[in-house]
Structure 1
Amino acid sequence: MSLEIEIVQIEREEARKHIAYQLVGRFEAPLLALQAEAVRVALWALSRGRGRPLSLEAAVSGRTLLYRARQILQPYAEAGAVRPAEAAGASSLLQPSMLKRLHEQGDLLMLSQAKECWLPAPARLVPLGSRYVLAGGLPSLLLPEALRQQLRLHQTLRLLPSSAGRNWPFAFQSLASWLGPQAPSLQELNLFFQHIPLTNVDRPPDESDQIEIYLPWASGPQEKRWQPLAQQRSAQGRYLLRWRQSQPQQIWRYSIALLDQGRLRQEQELAADHNIPRFCYALDQAAGRLNQAEWIATAPGGPLALHLESRLPRREYRLLQALGEQQPKDPKDARPYRWRAIAAEDRPLVEAALQPLGVRLMERPGRSSLA
């Protein structure tokens, strides 16, 4: 029996290594990186297979793309390469959110949001501090051999050293363009908040409505500054509100509201694409409140850790995802949002991104518990 178990374990290990090597050209790779690569490979095969030109007719539906990517990963799941909690079957290995994530990082092109039709984005290098991000839908195994040997897998991203740009055969893209549209400044958001027209409410909310009000001067991270509106009987003026839409997912809708002694008089709902964390930073600044962040040296001259009081808006979060490794949130810490493995030479890039948010940066010498 023990011999049989040993043989099965060897077969599973070999299967796992085989799938990883077929996807990224190496025997060991993180599951998240393999999921991303399976999507790239599946989309390339479906849309560019047999030398097909990139065209609207070659676009692939999200359902078909996920099905084919899961087929690629199926042997990986059957080999016991992931924990049961991660993969009760191949379908749980890869969720639709992966397509959105790859779209946001510039690997996939979405042709129709309603039908979710996808094409691989053109390959390009994005300068990111001490390295390049390889963006685009080109599968890793189609890279020139010299570049493939230098590839580093970082979550769903693919990174190359700065030297890779010398002989890069494809296009380049600026970091500002890759991060997405430039966000409005905190001052612009505050002007918007103060001057957007409001309309009278048809029905004042009652006790059954689950409404929370954002209080910039309250203690703790931004998420703890949301307080039940029913407890703010003296609130007067304009405030940011959120209304619970459903449970248990905790989906909210947001609005700018005029309150009179805690009673809702006027309101204007915010569009779903509004970046609420950035709005909170703007309201914090207007109230004279600075969110804090702390650099922690993990070793002399080594990588840095960064602990933040409040979560980052979308654009800055995307930058930190590429530069460091996000750690589990510590709700007991005054600065619960934690990142590690940020290269010392990338520190100016991070600070330049945090400065417009009014974040106060401090420094703690010594080794971090995250090292």
Structure 2
Amino acid sequence: MRFRRLFFFMVFLVAAQVATAQISVDFIPAISGTTLDGLMNVRINNFGQKRTVKLQVTVSFEDEVSSVQMVEIRTSAFDVYPGTNIVPPSILKTSQVKIGTSEPARFLQQNGYFPSGQYSYDYKVFSATTQEVLVDQNFVHELQPPAPLNLIEPFDKDEVCEHRPLLSWQPHIPMTAGTMYQVVLVEVKNKQNGIEALQYNLPIVNQRNISANLLMYPAVARELEKDKKYAWQVTAYQGNTVLNRSEVWTFNMKCADSIVESKPELSYRDIEDLAKGNFYLAEGRLNFVLVNSYAEQPLQYSISCLTDPKIKVKNLPQRKLSRGKNKIDIELSENRAFRNDYSYMLTVVMPNGQIKNLRFVYKEKR
């Protein structure tokens, strides 16, 4: 008799574990845990049959000595089907939302987003018929105030003389995996400001899915015209969620008439990793461009010979990095380490520790 009771208890325990394991919750606090509306941006994975469930979300503010409840949300019943489910938008209208009385909770109620701090996000999925807890998952995350997404170049109200300028900005902070950028550039018509131009004018550049914090002017976009004004803005996003958005800056396309080019414009190559098969022909000198998002500092770089690794490249000239876009010229013809038709690798250590490379073939000056 005792063995039979133990047997049925073990069967019941295994069945309960299997039922619980059939439901899981996916939630990303770094993306969706910053605002009150974002708490419902959750995915419920159902590995079993169709169920009718309810969802309870409790968010607490954690400090060193206590935990203060910020908000509790209870939804009405909705169905979850086998596979991945989202919370139906119509359910939100009938949900019960209870906001706490603490100072952080009042801030949330007034502004709609959570102040910086440590938070606990508790997600419980109940059976709508038996009230059984199908899953109880907790997520802990520290919210940091996002730094402004600052543009770098072209500078606000600047005058440029490049028909296809390089566009650069500071990266989104705090860094979030999977962050992409969108750059929009438009012409500013008469009696418009930059914000109006971005809202109403057809974009000249509207580039998405940019992983770096710079954009070489797209070859398919028409070049900028002299004596015209332009506005641009950068948006950081992940998926369909906007993480940050820069101010709107404007600049003028204007070339001084007094400037006369006495020699052809040097060809500059952007520093990129060799995954894209970068290749450069350096005729006596190396000309490249890179963007520095940090304070002015010396350029850290080295050059190695790929054709003959025994050749050591020394006595390279010192260069400084200013903030923004830098056009770097390095004279090679006076250094005996450079030999005609030999391949070399330029390695640059960026201020944030990132390594950039540029492969090139050295050619003697004609």
Structure whose alpha-carbon radius of gyration is higher: 2
TM-score, length-normalised on structure 1? Answer: 0.22
